Amino acid sequence: MKHAFSIAAILALAGCAAQPASKAWIHPDWGSSYTSRDLSVCRKQADEDLGRKIGRSDPTERDPAGGPSSSRQTDAIQNRYDFDRYVTNCMTALGYKRAKAAN
């Protein structure tokens, strides 16, 4: 449970600092009309893919067992990196490009 809380806290802090996720992607042909839907689909797929990678049989299970706390924290960081990579691969496969950050 602590592991799930740590991930949730990291995601919440990252969300506060970043622009809305759907604004981070641009499709050259569609504009923003389908971005939220496609991002949601890609996130769901990334969650399922990551679950299979870490051996999670139940998609609703968020806290894989085992290992000391420092190991789990390292795993959480690696899992977040992998999740982001899966989402990026999915969105680029759909034809999206990263939007430039506004300064």
pLDDT recorded at residue 54: 80
Q: Which of 22, 15, 20 is closest to 96 using CA atoms?
A: 22
pLDDT at 1: 47
- Within 1-103, where are the H helices? 2-17, 35-53, 69-93
Query: What Rg, from alpha-carbon coordinates, does the chain have?
Result: 15
Residue 29 to residue 40: CA distance in whole angstroms? 19
Domain spans, the chain: 2-98
Asked if the model's pLDDT at residue 10 lies above 60, the reply is no
**Residues 19-57: pLDDT tens digits?**
567 689 999 888 788 999 999 999 999 999 988 888 765
- Whether the per-residue pLDDT at 18 is higher than 60: the answer is no
Give the pLDDT confidence of 46-89 residue by residue, as tens digits.
999 988 888 765 555 555 444 445 566 678 889 999 999 999 99
Q: Which backbone phi and psi does 97 adopt, to 5 degrees?
A: -130, 150
> pTM of the entire structure?
0.63
